[in-house]
Amino acid sequence: MKSPIAAQRLLRGADYRPPRWLRNPHLQSVLSSSSSLLRRVVLRRRARFVAQVTHTEVLDVDGGVRLQGFHSAQQVLPERRGLVILLHGWEGSAQSNYVVDTAAALLGAGYDVYRLNFRDHGDSHALNREPFHSCRLDEVAAAVAQVCARPGAGLRAVAGFSLGGNFALRVARAAPARGIALDYALAVCPVIDPARGLRQLERGWLYHAYFMRKWRDSLRRKQALFPELPVLRRGDRRLNMRELTRALVQRYTPFASLEAYLDGYSVAGDRLARMQVPATILAAADDPVIPVADFRALRLPDCVELDIAPHGGHCAFLTGAGLRSFVGDYLLARLDARAPTPRVPLRT
């Protein structure tokens, strides 16, 4: 017998209808970005709500790797409804606006939240000697496995944005073989084909400049902490994204070429076809960073839902002047359909 919640109609991407002034995908993406001061100011009350129930820790995972995490325990129900692990995008962090906004929505609905920083993101550059790259799936999967194995009621889910969405899909794909107790995954505007995504960024000067500024700042910070490493050589400062990626692939990965590295974290084509964990991919047809054709070319199993909204920009889906995201309600609808007990909504 289905629960009343499970019988409710789930939100769909088509239900996202931004006001006319917010339909520009570039405006959406800029306002939603991890460094948007305006959105940070508007969401400061929700950020305080999250911070009040958050404990910071460092996870020791395989091979001596250490990753920073932020565990937030819900306070609105006698027993939590579940646990959701949130994964940020490239050069974002667990403190990014879109991550904190989603965390607040989940906490207000009775879910515990664990926000994980990838290595060299946020304030974690000193934790590991070797730099971050996007094929470091093992350590992220090990961290998710550790958190999911902790005692506590309810389902276990992972939700990621952009590169974090790509990681969420790869973790979910690997979960059965790795013994990870994962019930659901949501990927918001995930990187599908990194080679095509790189070409898309190269065509958009605004996004290329934004990510290069943040990436160079991160590499300079890493270099200062580990001066003996060739993280960012003098000549590297003149390289574009493609050539700087190529240089770091040669120094710090086992891949023989840039092309092999990009293929190493691709989930394009039929690479998700054998996935067993139920999942949703939420994409936007007007995403200026991830080509929508990549989503339409996916070959997915029945347990993976592809939902392409007409609007939303890159990981934004902002609903109005309050700069709240549709993603929180969208994710809650899918979690509620799987959670065993009804939730009590809380305004935050």
**pLDDT of 40:** 80
pLDDT > 50? residue 2: no
**pLDDT of 3:** 35
When pLDDT is cut at 50, 70 and 90, the band that residue 6 belongs to is very low
In this predicted model, what pLDDT tens digit does every residue of 9-33 receive, in sequence order? 789 999 999 999 999 999 999 888 7
**pLDDT of 5:** 36
Pairing mode of beta strands 279-284, 155-161? unpaired
Backbone angles phi, psi at 308, to 5 degrees: -105, 115
**Mean pLDDT lowest for which of 2-6, 149-153, 184-188, 333-337?**
2-6
Mean predicted confidence (pLDDT) in 104-112? 96
When pLDDT is cut at 50, 70 and 90, the band that residue 35 belongs to is low
- Percentage of the chain modeled with pLDDT above 90: 80
- Which amino acid is it at 254? P
Helices (H), the chain: 4-7, 25-32, 37-42, 44-51, 97-108, 137-148, 163-178, 194-203, 205-225, 241-252, 258-264, 292-296, 326-336
In this predicted model, what pLDDT tens digit does every residue of 213-256 receive, in sequence order? 999 999 999 999 999 988 878 778 788 999 999 999 998 999 99
Contact 123, 58 (CB under 8 A): no
In this predicted model, what pLDDT tens digit does every residue of 194-210 receive, in sequence order? 999 999 999 888 889 98
